[in-house]
């Protein structure tokens, strides 16, 4: 395996992991808010 490819893969993981985590948290909060709105109506 090429060292440059491995470094690029590591950099990509470091960038995408926090983004994926943040997106998951926002998605969970969105689902919760939708459930709250349904309960009020």
Work out the pLDDT band at 37, boundaries 50, 70, 90: confident
What is the percentage of the chain residues whose pLDDT exceeds 90? 68
Does the pLDDT of residue 41 top 70, yes or no? no
Q: What is the pLDDT of residue 40?
A: 65
How close are the terminal C-alpha atoms of the chain, in Å?
A: 57
Only one residue has tokens 């470091």, namely: 14
pTM comes to 0.57
| Mean pLDDT across 9-16 | 97
């Amino acid at each position: 395996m090429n060292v440059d490819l491995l470094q690029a893969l590591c950099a990509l993981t470091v960038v995408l992991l926090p983004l994926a985590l943040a997106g998951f948290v926002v998605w969970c909060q969105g689902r919760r808010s939708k459930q709250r709105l349904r309960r009020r109506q």
